[in-house]
Chain A
Amino acid sequence: MMRTSPAGFALASLVGAFAAALLVLAWSLLTTLTTTGAASAPLGWALASGAALGGVLAALRRGKDTPAPAAWTAGAAVGLAWAAASGGAPLDLAHPFWGAPAAVVTWILIGQTTRYGLREIDLVRVDPHDRERVLLRGLRGVGFGFFVTIVVLPFWFMVASSLKPRAELLRDPTNLAIDVSRGLTELLVGYREVLITFDFARFILNSTFVAVVTVAITLALAVLGAYAVTRLRFPGRAWLSRSILLIYMFPAIVLVIPLYAIFSQLGLRDTLPGLLVVYPATTLPVALYMLRSYFQTLPKDLEEAGMIDGSTRLGVIWRITLPLSLPALASVGLYVFMIAWNEFLFAFMFLDSPEIFTLSRGMVALDSQEVPRQYLMAGAVVVTVPIMILFFWFEKYLVGGLTSGGVKG
């Protein structure tokens, strides 16, 4: 059997050191964020031990892979060594869970990661392609860590702060763990205050009402419009098809001043009907565009058969086109719902009376009062959770809709 070359050992050590640095940092950060006090991050030791582990894995290779049990055992051994060398407190953690056991688990993971990083790589004769593949694997590892952190951290922070009184936040600002021992009523006090005292329960209803009606109006008008643009011939059709999306490029802030002036004079400002005109108008162009794209994929034959059977156009749309377009309607509807639910600018400019506040507007009102951060974050969770649930439920539709329409943000 061919032996691993010095260059192979060097590469394996590099991979091991890199994996160790990445995972020890992640472990340290995770501990800092979930326990009282902070963990240290002994990067130097991590690099050195990781390089050694990489070398061991290179020595234990069978063909182009290290057997998993060997990699895990080697990792666990390093973990135990760490725990022993630090007197059972790696990363300065004497914690019964985050200390020694976590060291072993982390190092097993480092072993596995290193093994994965070196799989299929020829360590006997290392060529530039393999080095590049290893580099890209490293980049992927960093990428996953990076993206998961930046996406999850703000939302985790939001939820955690909504369950903590200010004193606790100030005492230990790195700690994002939720202190379950305080009991459910204690924990949820922010939510109770926001929903009842600050009337967010009513704002949820308002937001739901506004979003649902916006979806209904937008879909009704967009179906008619999209059908006309795809199926009927009329002068100006091509021009219209192209300029639909143009409307979507108009900045909302340019519309705000005149709409504010006009709505003030018409008495539409500070009313829900006012919002219910603005939201469909701003979502219609893209809804129409998305539905148009979908209608173009539907076969004409069925509709023509329906026409021959004596149905009217509207009858055909109702009985043939719409049932076939349910997935598209779902994705357009969901997207319009999201826009209406999240909308901030017009709600902020138009609504003054607390009875008709939407959630976004309610958040601004909450912010202007001297309310604790805990309540504000509870409010933020209340605004976010419904749209997240809806979105996760129908993710498939939404993703299709977003990409086919080019949703603005």
Chain B
Amino acid sequence: MRGTLAAREARLAYLMLTPTFAIVFAIVLFPVLANFWIAFKPVELGDLRPPEPIVRERLRSEATAVGGDVVVRYQMRSSSLDVAIRDVVLFDALPAGLTLTTDDPRCEQDGRDLACVLGTWEGGHRENLDLTFEAGPAYADAGFPDPLATRPQMRGRAPNVLTDATFTLDNFRRVIGAPDFWPALRVTLWYTVFGTIGSILLGLFAAQLLHADFLGKGVLRGVFLFPYVAPVIAAAFAWAFLLDPLSGNVNAVLKEYGLVEQAVNFLSRRTATVDLFGLELAVPMALTVVILFEAWRYFPFAFLFILARFQAIPQDMYEAADVDGASPLQRFWYVTLPQLVGILSTLFLLRFIWTFNKFDDIFLLTGGAAGTKTLTVQVYDQAFALADLGAGAAVAVVLFVILATFMILYFRFAPEGE
């Protein structure tokens, strides 16, 4: 088939897709694999910088005439207190006309280049190396230049926890065994299910409102998209301050109207008891607020899709319903809703997956405090707040496995093509 039209077309297609493949592989697929790798390794945040030899040089003595001595002190140390570094070598370049006179078998001069082979350093190794050079005529001719003009370099081989062959299941054991793992999973599901349903219901309601012709409809449609278009950081800060117990607007208004007696700390109180017809109900307060934020921020997404679907429902279906004497609610229930089933289920799965993955919103609103710690916040906490990359990656793997299950479901149910 080589050289045929079809083969050439296929080659061109692959060529055009290569950059996309490359970047998606490097930034999405490879990291997912790497995450699995890290999850099985005892890696801490500090391990990202492997141990290395460090050197500083100082001039102990300068030459002012031919035959004078230049003495350079190399102050060397290992950056690690406990890990050994093998094959340590020191390199430096010297001005022309300097000849090494110190008799150190480890050091050799080749023209202007100096190399000292220092062998293996144990953890915490420190060493001062004084080297004497004799100034030759060439050095004097050059006007006795600064011997420290070129920086010395060091090289050494240290084990890199990221790439070596140590594997462990400890991360998973610790993460799943931790007392806050199951609560985090429950909070995640709670947040995902209610955040998803909330945003879709709000979106459905909003789409109903705007599915009519009236003055200012276009403007209102734009305004309804605000929460979705605004940067999450601005929206989260605005909410946090709006709900602030001390100077927040919401608390002030609630108090003004006598709806609450004392300011409510919406974002840092774990539970609130609500008196419902004499029934005392414990409601997770901060979690509810975070879910409301989620519903608020993403209802425009559902709204747009549902509105677009509304406009595609053929008008004669409604006319037929009217002939049959359907009431407005019956029209909605028996005509509109069945037409929305497809888009609603797609929306549900999409939003479910994305809410499940959500990190920014909760992190910015509560930081995971007061019973709002989801698995995504847990990943961040383990990896960066506790500096335990391996444990963070292990939580990410758990997250990913749950998600993969949803994705399989999604691909089962997603309509073909569009």
Q: Please give the residue numbers on chain A whose beta carbons come within 8 Å of chain B beta carbons, in ascending order.
A: 29, 32-33, 38, 41, 128-129, 132-133, 136, 140, 143-144, 147-148, 150-155, 157-158, 161, 166, 169-170, 173-174, 176, 221-222, 224-225, 227-229, 232-235, 237, 240, 242, 246-247, 249-262, 264-265, 277-278, 280-282, 284-285, 288, 293, 313, 338, 341-342, 344-345, 349, 359-360, 363-364, 367, 373, 376-377, 380-381, 383-384, 387-388, 391-392, 395, 398-399, 402-403, 406-409
Contact = CB atoms under 8 A, between A and B. Distances in A.
B294 to A, nearest CB: 10
B241 A157 contact: yes
B31 A258 contact: yes
A402 B230 contact: no
The 10 A-B residue pairs with the shortest CB-CB distance, nearest first, are A281-B27, A251-B357, A258-B34, A173-B252, A234-B10, A380-B234, A232-B13, A258-B31, A38-B256, A234-B13
A131 to B, nearest CB: 9
A383 B237 CA distance: 12
A152 B23 CA distance: 39
A157 B231 contact: no
Contacts of A174: 249, 252-253, 256
Contact of B48 (A29, A265, A403): A265
Contact of A278 (B27, B29, B328, B357): B27
B301 interface: yes
B379 A158 contact: no
Of A148, A229, A247, A342, chain B has the most CB atoms within 10 Å of the CB of: A342
Contact of A143 (B12, B209, B252, B329): B209
Interface in B200-250: 205-206, 208-209, 218, 220-235, 237-239, 241-242, 246-249
B251 interface: yes
Interface string B352-367: 0110110110001000
B36 to A, nearest CB: 9
A157 B297 contact: no
B169 interface: no
Contacts of B256: 32, 38, 174
B231 A373 contact: no
B247 A173 contact: yes
Interface string B156-172: 00000010000000000
6 contacts: A157-B238, A251-B357, A254-B35, A257-B35, A342-B231, A409-B297
B260 interface: no
B96 to A, nearest CB: 33
A293 to B, nearest CB: 7
Contact of A403 (B31, B218, B304): B304
A262 B249 contact: no
A264 B379 contact: no
Contacts of A228: 12-14, 16-17
Contacts of B48: 260-261, 264-265
Contact of A132 (B13, B224, B327, B407): B327
Contact of A402 (B27, B252, B304): B304
A364 B353 CA distance: 27
Interface in B37-91: 37-38, 43, 48-49
Interface string B380-414: 10011000010011001001100100010011000
Contacts of B257: 38, 41
B24 A285 contact: yes
A380 B235 CA distance: 8
B32 A254 contact: yes
Contact-size category for B: 35 or more
Given A255-B27, A264-B49, A151 B223 contact: yes
Contacts of B10: 232-235
Contacts of A288: 20
Contact of B31 (A128, A259, A376, A395): A259
Contact of A234 (B9, B31, B38, B162): B9
A225 B20 contact: yes
A252 B357 contact: yes
B314 interface: no
B190 interface: no
Nearest to A338: B229
A253 B380 contact: yes
Contacts, number: 275
Contacts of A224: 16-17, 19-20
A367 B237 contact: yes
Given A252-B359, A253-B399, A344-B364, A409 B242 contact: no
Contacts of A377: 237-238, 241
A234 B10 CA distance: 4
Contact of B16 (A132, A225, A338, A367): A225
B35 A363 contact: no
A395 B28 contact: no
B266 interface: no
B119 to A, nearest CB: 26
A173 B17 contact: no
A350 B249 CA distance: 34
Contacts of B9: 232-234
A171 to B, nearest CB: 9
Contacts of A409: 228, 297-298, 301, 354
B316 interface: no
Contacts of A403: 304-305, 308
A259 B223 contact: no
Given A140-B209, A154-B227, A257-B383, 15 more contacts: A33-B253, A38-B253, A41-B257, A157-B249, A225-B20, A247-B24, A251-B399, A255-B27, A257-B389, A277-B26, A282-B28, A341-B231, A387-B230, A388-B226, A398-B229
A31 B128 CA distance: 77
B393 to A, nearest CB: 5
B376 interface: yes
B324 interface: no
A401 to B, nearest CB: 10
B38 A258 contact: yes
B162 A155 contact: no
Contacts of A29: 253
B231 A151 contact: no
Contacts of A237: 13
B115 interface: no
A313 B11 CA distance: 13
B234 A255 contact: no
B38 A257 contact: yes
A360 B306 CA distance: 31
A250 B28 contact: yes
Contacts of A256: 379-380, 383
A257 B379 contact: yes
Contact of A225 (B17, B27, B29, B249): B17
A102 B230 CA distance: 33
Contacts of B305: 403, 406
Residue of B37, B230, B356, B418 with most chain A CB atoms under a 10 A cut-off: B230
